[in-house]
């Protein structure tokens, strides 16, 4: 089966040109101007941009709470990512109760996700209840096709929390075998102090979530993680950077040669913390995620950092928590489950609020949406680039579309879309996943559960910074 995409404006991280892409089976077979080939099917991409399918390196489908209870919408809702132009997820495989790291990865791949994931997916190991003896398992991750490991510096005293000693030990183990460490960086003790102080004064509403997670709490942990990573010679990805203070530390440390890469998320770029001031709990609680949403000043800084290369990745931190669970925190903001859906929204939001406003170029969009996350997770150049031999994961984006983001157009897997009501410029028209048309006219037309596990190679991009 041959498929030819004609006359699109092909976007790469280094340039753009009007041309054609020939797809044979699951792979890109040729790219060029005016290819003279008779294919089985031709897709006219005139007036559209053609870019590599997105790699969302931070998603939590069927996420677990600290008791091992499923907290967020499952893989059967993952087709929403494809409608938003994301063809590869990197999923967190949290330790299952009573299982080790490798066993949990197996369980996620072969039980929880089996036959249900619609995009392709790679995995991060996510260690909860981590004990020093589990660090031995870290060295086996690359054989298993997992090149990254995530630990939490926050959420003390739950199973998610990792103390600095274990974090350092895990970094040393990871560095030995080319695994990149990912951290959720917030100072756990400061958070507990600030949150409890407010609650004891009778302050229970969602707005206290952001008021008790100020930027310095994040920045302190980012600095500490980088110092530990440098000492352990372990490349590091700081996930969900939200504020100027944390991004500045990453910039300065990189200038001094630290092997650190910073990720931010769509919602930190386009949503204000004031959303949590809404008097309706069922609205305000949707925006509760950690670290918290910030002010315009921070958003401006994050966009500049992305444009300059001080931050390199935009992910979604997708977690589809239904309102029936958000309500657990009705009388205590500390009990609102943390997390926001958004794996289907990255491209339209980056396009509308980044490219169309001139904050980032289309070339930089390709890097932060697709190419760099693929490199970080060891799945490049199979994923993250339009080139001969790569998987034919291809997005056609129509920049002429004007609309408003709705749950219907951008399904999130739960009862709300975080960006509902916001203006949207352009939309995904067509998506190919490994050569198969899975989105047409912005509608999902694929086979649910078609996604494959994509093994990640060790020594991902962050090792180049060592
Ligand atoms: Mn996190
Ligand atoms: Mn997360």
The closest ligand to the CA of 71 turns out to be: 2
Gap from CA of 266 to ligand 1 centroid (Å)? 14
Gap from CA of 422 to ligand 1 centroid (Å)? 25
Residue 127: predicted pLDDT: 86
- Nearest Cα neighbor of 71 from 283, 314, 329 is 329
- Nearest Cα neighbor of 459 from 386, 380, 393 is 380
CB count in 10 Å sphere of residue 416? 18
Gap from CA of 293 to ligand 2 centroid (Å)? 14
Longest dimension (CA), the chain: 73
Gap from CA of 405 to ligand 1 centroid (Å)? 25
Gap from CA of 391 to ligand 1 centroid (Å)? 30
Q: Is there a contact between 178 and 458 (Cβ–Cβ < 8 Å)?
A: yes
Residue numbers in the chain where pLDDT is lower than 70: 66-67
The closest ligand to the CA of 186 turns out to be: 1
Gap from CA of 150 to ligand 2 centroid (Å)? 9
What is the Cα–Cα distance from 397 to 11, expressed in whole angstroms?
A: 11
Gap from CA of 378 to ligand 2 centroid (Å)? 19
Question: Which residues are CB-neighbours of 300 under 8 A, at least 6 positions away?
Answer: none
Residue 131: predicted pLDDT: 74
The closest ligand to the CA of 59 turns out to be: 2
The closest ligand to the CA of 221 turns out to be: 1
Please identify which residue in the block is written with the tokens 């980012």: 222
Gap from CA of 53 to ligand 1 centroid (Å)? 24
The closest ligand to the CA of 155 turns out to be: 1
Residue 420: predicted pLDDT: 97
């Amino acid at each position: 089966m041959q498929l030819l995409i004609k006359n699109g404006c092909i976007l790469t991280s280094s340039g753009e040109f009007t041309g054609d892409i020939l797809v044979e089976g699951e792979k890109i077979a040729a790219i060029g101007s005016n290819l003279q080939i008779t294919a089985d099917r031709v897709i006219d991409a005139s007036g559209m941009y053609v870019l590599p399918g997105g790699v969302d390196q931070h998603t939590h489908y069927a996420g677990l709470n600290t008791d091992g209870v499923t907290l967020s919408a499952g893989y059967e809702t993952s087709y929403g990512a494809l409608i938003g132009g994301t063809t590869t997820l990197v999923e967190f495989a949290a330790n299952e109760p009573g299982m080790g790291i490798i066993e949990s990865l197996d369980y996620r791949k072969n039980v929880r996700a089996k036959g249900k994931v619609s995009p392709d997916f790679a995995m991060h190991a996510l260690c909860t209840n981590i004990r020093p003896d589990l660090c031995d398992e870290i060295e086996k991750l690359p054989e298993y096709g997992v090149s990254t490991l995530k630990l939490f510096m926050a959420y003390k005293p739950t199973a998610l929390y990792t103390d600095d000693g274990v974090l350092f030990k895990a970094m040393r183990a990871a560095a030995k075998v080319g695994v990149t460490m990912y951290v959720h960086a917030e100072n756990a003790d400061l958070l507990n102090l600030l949150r409890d102080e407010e609650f004891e004064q009778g302050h229970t509403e969602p707005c206290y979530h952001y008021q008790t997670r100020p930027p310095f709490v994040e920045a302190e942990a980012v600095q500490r993680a980088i110092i530990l990573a440098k000492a352990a010679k372990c490349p590091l990805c700081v996930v969900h950077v939200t504020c100027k203070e944390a991004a500045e530390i990453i910039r300065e440390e990189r200038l001094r040669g630290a092997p650190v890469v910073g990720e931010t998320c769509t919602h930190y770029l386009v949503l204000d913390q004031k959303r949590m001031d809404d008097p309706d709990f069922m609205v305000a609680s949707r925006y509760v995620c950690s670290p918290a949403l910030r002010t315009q000043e921070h958003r401006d800084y994050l966009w500049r950092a992305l444009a300059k290369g001080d931050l390199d990745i935009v992910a979604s931190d997708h977690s589809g928590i239904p309102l029936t669970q958000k309500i657990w925190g009705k009388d205590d903001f500390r009990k609102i489950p943390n997390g926001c859906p958004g794996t289907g929204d990255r491209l339209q939001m980056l396009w509308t609020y980044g490219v169309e406003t001139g904050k980032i170029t289309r070339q930089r969009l390709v890097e932060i949406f697709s190419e760099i996350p693929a490199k970080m997770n060891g799945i490049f150049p199979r994923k993250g680039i339009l080139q001969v031999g790569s998987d034919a994961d291809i997005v056609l984006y129509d920049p002429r579309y004007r609309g408003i983001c709705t749950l219907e157009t951008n399904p999130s897997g739960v009862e709300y879309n975080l960006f509902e009501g916001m203006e949207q410029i352009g939309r995904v028209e067509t998506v190919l996943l490994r050569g198969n048309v899975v989105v047409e006219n912005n509608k999902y037309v694929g086979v649910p559960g078609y996604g494959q596990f994509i093994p990640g190679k060790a020594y991902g991009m962050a090792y180049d910074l060592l």
